[in-house]
Amino acid sequence: MLMVFALLVLLLIVFALIAAAMMAFARGGKPPAEPMSPAARQALDKIQNLAGNLAVDMVDHAQEVEQITSVLKAIPADDEAALAAVSRLVQINQQIQQQLASTEEKLQTQARQMEAQAFEARTDALTQIANRRSFDDALARRIEEQQRRGVETSIVLLDVDHFKKFNDSHGHQAGDEVLRHVAQVLRQN
């Protein structure tokens, strides 16, 4: 039983590390330049709350199993009390399995939400391509890689000629459409 408890605590630690890694990935592996967004903070708080609740449930479960085990040791094997204790043990194990399944589902949901938030934080809403934050992070990683291992890096900058004039002449909606089209061409190449 102690082994199961240890494995569950290890599972909680792994989920917490995954959450921390996802948050670090969302920042490009660097400490945040600005405070964490409210949505990211809320997601992290939910994960920490779930982990804390699960840890409390596991302690309660371990205590109940210990009590039942004590009762079983004191009862002759053919006694009805032994059968009731085993029945109770099966029942609390089923309850903890349901709680674990529910918690795992909630953690997976939170992980998906964090992934979506990380994507949104690094993607331009209009064009759906990497934004300036993503560019800055990628550039910093490439410079570090070049300094560490001597890997050559190239940067390609693109300028849409006379875009401001086009945008002013034809309106922002037409300008937005041009930017979407340029982004689509970039994604295809």
pLDDT in tens, 85-127: 777 777 887 888 788 888 888 888 888 888 888 888 889 999 9
Cα torsion through 143, 147, 150, 154, rounded to 10: 20
Under the banding of pLDDT at 50, 70 and 90, the label for residue 33 is: very low
Question: What was the pLDDT predicted at 50?
Answer: 73
Question: What was the pLDDT predicted at 19?
Answer: 54
- What angle (nearest 5°) sits at the alpha carbon of residue 40, between those of residues 39 and 44? 120
Number of Cβ within a 10 Å radius of residue 103? 19
Bridge partners of 164, per DSSP, are none
Question: What was the pLDDT predicted at 101?
Answer: 80
Q: At what angle do helices 172-188 and 163-170 cross, to 10 degrees?
A: 140
Count the alpha carbons within 13 Å of 54 in the hemisphere toward its beta carbon: 28
How is residue 35 annotated by DSSP? Answer: P
158 or 174: whose pLDDT is higher? 174
Whole-angstrom CA distances from 1 to 5, 6, 62 are 6, 9, 7
Length of the chain: 189
What's the whole-number mean pLDDT along residues 56-69?
A: 76
Distance of CA 15 to the CA centre of its chain: 8
Question: What was the pLDDT predicted at 104?
Answer: 80
Instruction: Name the pTM for this structure.
Output: 0.46
What span, in angstroms and rounded, lies between the C-alpha atoms of 149 and 166? 44
On whether the CB atoms of residues 71 and 85 are closer than 8 A, the answer is yes
- What angle (nearest 5°) sits at the alpha carbon of residue 175, between those of residues 173 and 178? 115
